Amino acid sequence: MTSTTRAVCPHCAWPDDAEPFQVVSRHGTATGGTVWTRCACGSLQVRVTDGRGTRVVSRSRPSAAPTR
């Protein structure tokens, strides 16, 4: 995927235009697609792909560390 924003994850600074750590799901839409990904830091991201490229439109905080 190629990002059109040149942005980075605010939690770990992983570039949005780099390959996501994990693709969770992909969904086709009338104008392109939506891809849910998980960053290496654990942040869940929603990426939209359309005629303008791919960009992160929403992201969560990193997942909490497991408690023992």
What is the rounded distance in angstroms from the CA atom of residue 3 to the CA atom of residue 59? Answer: 15
pLDDT tens-place string over residues 11-66: 999 888 888 789 999 999 999 999 999 998 999 999 999 999 989 999 999 877 65
Using only C-alpha atoms, what is the Rg of the chain? 12
pTM of the model: 0.74
Q: 């942040």: which residue's tokens? A: 43
Reading the block at residue 41, the tokens are 């830091």
What is the rounded distance in angstroms from the CA atom of residue 19 to the CA atom of residue 51? Answer: 19
Examine the pLDDT at 7 and tell me if it is beyond 90: no
CB atoms within 10 A of CB 34: 16
